[in-house]
Structure 1
């Protein structure tokens, strides 16, 4: 299928507006039809390019091969929503059979994992638990039922560090084996296996367990699956391929490798891979930089930020270019002492205000001013009021009480619809459901529900009418996407009257105000949002300050930022970049430094840096600010 310039032009204005057009690199990617990897720098418009290709290809396939579709895999519900909404702009109102669009977890569950679990554990359904709830349930089961005699009852149960290193393996004769921690004692490993097996059999699974299920199912039915898959799908497009785990990529490869009937294209930025930071498994996606088509012009930031990123990266990135239309400021290094650490954020704010007075290029009131770090505890060193999650003040408590009432309603619907043939195991407790709902990794998929709640609370306070039709649609889609169950408007509206009574009861209408106070440092008119680097991945900021961290370094001196000062100064070391601590720091700094449009900065403790290192930074274009 050859894509023409005319077809690209037909979707260009719908996706970019009348003032912009796809550049040559982007057009080449849209036209490319063979198997390949596509490397796209931060802010390159990668997803828009992919959407343009999807729109053109889906329209052509509807006419030329209506029985075949495209399999579109991404990694977040936000990514799925973005693709669906943008396709609507091009006239594609729904992504329907034979096409598929969903997260990688949804892909595995829908096609393989649910079927596999049904074969292994008869007449049962599983529930995917998020990290903390799984750890809690696993630990309780381990200590109560399978703790080895040598494991003192005073010891803490196995935590996330252990759980991240162990996996189930399903043998051809349907038995469960333990992978990982082979260096540990046999009795301890046997206890871990028995606990994992218990969790598996009662339906308490992790995301990685569903990949194990998918892998087993594919191995058992490989030829049939390869044939059926190629009959349904002509293309497989994977967005944000760098976030794919090694085990996920291996399962997909078994289905698609050496299958001439399917074209597989991976899109992403390998330098933003944060999945395997601790090196427990290899990076799954390793595109060949020599042969992979690249989009190396960023629309997000100017060349001053691009210059920092060319060497603050796990590999040299000389072809990365900044947007000549964006005036990014010189990068700033805020050098502080232990006594002045608590003044770093205020100095950051004052620097932005000073720059804004000279030229108003940085929109200070955009809500896009950020300070980030690799660890929550490191942020707390710079702002002691910072907490992992929302503040526990009275206003937040009010909003959270209303959210709790809404969560109870959602759980009631789920409890009614999602049943399981066992009196011992229930797919969700209310506590477990709320923990999952509140988990940070789930926030993006729940944001519309939260937004509705705040708007509804305001309408109740102001005695205003609010239409629930869009909320009904959102909940119907949410239950379908999250739990693969169908609910109706009646399921929702039959409970809304009671929910309204409870919300009104929570709201003291004469005195209440609605506000959600997140982790924000305020200085004058500037609000600085505080978060981890993982928490802002995929975002675009006006300004970003990287706060160094000296936590979890296994005895290494300095900080994650001092490890990479030479790279930030424009010097790339091909030997040291392979060291685990430096490789990890480069990945995190690359993500942090590629968020902002106008201003990037870093906080450095002068006790950890030499005058020579400061001089190198300054010579390479960094502005040094004493705090």
Structure 2
């Protein structure tokens, strides 16, 4: 079925379609990895380095396949790890009619969760007589919490358990984290009953859908064979991010046993970091597997930066710097280290801003993407300086940049949209954020209209409100959001935003009393002021502007997790603390004394670094491979011994001492 479906002339067509020119996937010297990847349709894993254009490669391959796909009732399944990745794939597929066809029957392009929901969990739950109204962990837990007796809530709080104890891992509603409450206790039984009742009402946590998908496969194993017949070819993007739960289920569906689908996975094992503490990487079907092909050429950065960062890769890889793209302009800049102490930690961001202004011209400052990231972004005020982003920028709001958790308020939905819009005029993010917030608020108010739909949140709200008295209120609310690009003064929030939002939520929910939604719709609290003389940071959008009076550059602040997969013009990686200061622990790698994730033990044998160090390496490899032009680090001055800074300057680093006054 797949023999000769992609030919070399198709590769030239696809490269041109992706804007790379007809030779975009042609061999470069001895490196023909991209051409081989385009032509290969066997089961294989592609180990693709940062900036290798793996998503572009995948989309080009899909465009050729769609153009030549011979089957009408069998399709290609394309699974991504996040909605952002799915949207990127969908947007790039829109460049051709053939690509657009992949977004329709018989094909599937979406997240792993969406696939599991659509083809396994939702049909199975409906067969059990359960109407699924909403799949949202925050809302499901709020519903279940309300079903608990008051004395049970008191017991849970006294035991210092969170609402997460209401999440289950088995189809009998058992499992999960219940602390000291065993099955024989009344509290455990009350938790079990709230889990069951909330689920039967149609409200589920995201990961619980895997519970029901696995139960379907347990009871109806032929469902996996049906899916293999429907999807004989499967692609998985960002495969290194798949948890054990996800990998085991996908392996069970497509690979285990007879008549497996052909499966290709794209990823980078050196970038395997997880958004939640406690998530385990794949063990059942780890990435990469036995059949693997490397794609080592990065089009993001030049060789000098590649040489600086490749030592942090846990799995040694060739890293060929073939960037940055010509349209980005400006030559590669020397990596820069900012030194600070307790007294000067808040000077790091202003000095970084000044360095950017001195390095790049006005056009690049206006069009580029500039970020500062930290491995830890939830601040412990009593923690060692620097503990987290908040030590550098006291007004930083961790919830704004946290992609993995649902926003806890209307204001947080808007803040995230403003954060995502930085450097672009893409207003649809703001419109859909407002619509998503209103749908979430309606669920908190007791709405039962459901949110299981493929339409955008805005389209969903329009469909639900058209012809009602609340529709004009929704349009007025969106108009106000667009006018201020999501920035709303407190007086306007109280006078305009909240009344319109309450009108919409009452219509969507059918409830007169707003209940839990009232706090969700409250105006944002003012953020603490920064110290005198520092550049301004947006109240809730985590944008640091420099200089304060007439900004020439805006710097997005966030966690390393929040910028994974992104490309920046310049990235500042800030030291932070988890059992130790991250960058201080990585100093041997920065100085060239160590490379990779292995070391010699006392007997002269190579052994893996400890799990914490491996996680630290992966996390900061992700951070340090974001920029096209300028990599910066910020570290405490007192961690460097005599001569170590000389080693760095000898390796081409620029050192800026924030402990000393800035030069006029």
TM-score bracket for the superposition, by shorter chain length:
0.7 to 0.9
Task: Verify the 8 A CA contact 2:417 2:433 in the aligned structure 1.
Answer: no
Could you tell me how far 1:526 is from its partner in structure 2?
2.1
Point out the structure with the larger helix share: 1
TM-align CA RMSD: 3.9
Could you tell me how far 1:84 is from its partner in structure 2?
2.5
Could you tell me how far 1:521 is from its partner in structure 2?
1.8
Question: How many Å separate the matches in 1 of 2:304 and 2:144?
Answer: 49
2:353 to 349, 356, 359: 349
Task: Verify the 8 A CA contact 1:270 1:286 in the aligned structure 2.
Answer: no
Which residue is 2:445 aligned to? none
Could you tell me how far 1:45 is from its partner in structure 2?
0.9
Q: Deviations over 1:193-247 (max 9, x none)?
A: 444344433333211101111111122111x223312321220111111222211
Which residue is 2:610 aligned to? 579
Which residue is 1:519 aligned to? 542
Which residue is 2:248 aligned to? 250
Question: How many Å separate the matches in 2 of 1:566 and 1:118?
Answer: 56
- 1:238 paired with 2:269, answer no
Which residues in structure 2 correspond to 1:28-427 (within 5 Å)? 28-61=36-69, 64-92=70-98, 93-94=100-101, 95-120=103-128, 122-131=129-138, 133-134=139-140, 136-137=142-143, 141=147, 144=150, 146=152, 151=155, 154-158=158-162, 167-170=168-171, 175-179=172-176, 187=185, 192-222=191-221, 224-257=222-255, 258-260=257-259, 262-275=261-274, 278=277, 280-283=279-282, 286-288=286-288, 291-317=291-317, 319-323=318-322, 327-356=331-360, 363-376=364-377, 377=379, 378-388=388-398
Which residue is 2:641 aligned to? 610
Question: How many Å separate the matches in 1 of 2:411 and 2:359?
Answer: 42
Counterparts in 2 of 1:362 and 1:613: CA distance versus 1, 3 Å? farther
Task: Verify the 8 A CA contact 2:15 2:25 in the aligned structure 1.
Answer: yes
Which residue is 2:626 aligned to? 595
Which residues in structure 2 correspond to 1:411-490 (within 5 Å)? 434=410, 449-451=428-430, 479-481=453-455
Question: How many Å separate the matches in 1 of 2:475 and 2:89?
Answer: 37
Could you tell me how far 1:288 is from its partner in structure 2?
4.1
Which residue is 2:473 aligned to? 499
Which residue is 1:544 aligned to? 571
Task: Verify the 8 A CA contact 1:302 1:328 in the aligned structure 2.
Answer: yes
3-state SS, counterpart of residue 169 of structure 1:
coil
3-state SS, counterpart of residue 624 of structure 1:
strand
Task: Verify the 8 A CA contact 2:75 2:230 in the aligned structure 1.
Answer: yes
1:568 to 590, 594, 606: 590
Could you tell me how far 1:135 is from its partner in structure 2?
5.2
- Which has the higher mean CA deviation after the structures are superposed, 182-191 or 599-608? 182-191
Task: Verify the 8 A CA contact 1:479 1:487 in the aligned structure 2.
Answer: no
3-state SS, counterpart of residue 613 of structure 2:
helix
- Which has the higher mean CA deviation after the structures are superposed, 95-104 or 564-573? 564-573
Question: How many Å separate the matches in 1 of 2:553 and 2:412?
Answer: 33
Could you tell me how far 1:371 is from its partner in structure 2?
0.6
Counterparts in 2 of 1:20 and 1:568: CA distance versus 1, 3 Å? farther
3-state SS, counterpart of residue 91 of structure 2:
helix
Q: Deviations over 1:254-280 (max 9, x none)?
A: 122244352111111222222277455
Task: Verify the 8 A CA contact 1:69 1:98 in the aligned structure 2.
Answer: yes
Question: How many Å separate the matches in 2 of 1:119 and 1:100?
Answer: 22
Could you tell me how far 1:169 is from its partner in structure 2?
1.3
Could you tell me how far 1:18 is from its partner in structure 2?
3.5
Could you tell me how far 1:40 is from its partner in structure 2?
1.0
Q: Deviations over 1:272-296 (max 9, x none)?
A: 2222774552335633487411211
Counterparts in 2 of 1:202 and 1:443: CA distance versus 1, 3 Å? farther
Counterparts in 2 of 1:577 and 1:441: CA distance versus 1, 3 Å? farther
3-state SS, counterpart of residue 292 of structure 2:
coil
Could you tell me how far 1:598 is from its partner in structure 2?
0.4
Counterparts in 2 of 1:331 and 1:321: CA distance versus 1, 3 Å? same
Question: How many Å separate the matches in 1 of 2:461 and 2:614?
Answer: 47
Task: Verify the 8 A CA contact 1:77 1:444 in the aligned structure 2.
Answer: no
- Relative to the length of structure 1, the TM-score reads 0.76
Could you tell me how far 1:451 is from its partner in structure 2?
4.3
Task: Verify the 8 A CA contact 2:418 2:430 in the aligned structure 1.
Answer: no
Task: Verify the 8 A CA contact 1:276 1:282 in the aligned structure 2.
Answer: no
Which residue is 2:14 aligned to? 11
Counterparts in 2 of 1:144 and 1:153: CA distance versus 1, 3 Å? same
Question: How many Å separate the matches in 2 of 1:177 and 1:30?
Answer: 46
Task: Verify the 8 A CA contact 1:169 1:177 in the aligned structure 2.
Answer: yes
Counterparts in 2 of 1:169 and 1:337: CA distance versus 1, 3 Å? same
Could you tell me how far 1:559 is from its partner in structure 2?
0.7
Task: Verify the 8 A CA contact 1:140 1:157 in the aligned structure 2.
Answer: no
3-state SS, counterpart of residue 249 of structure 2:
helix
3-state SS, counterpart of residue 174 of structure 2:
strand
Task: Verify the 8 A CA contact 2:296 2:320 in the aligned structure 1.
Answer: yes
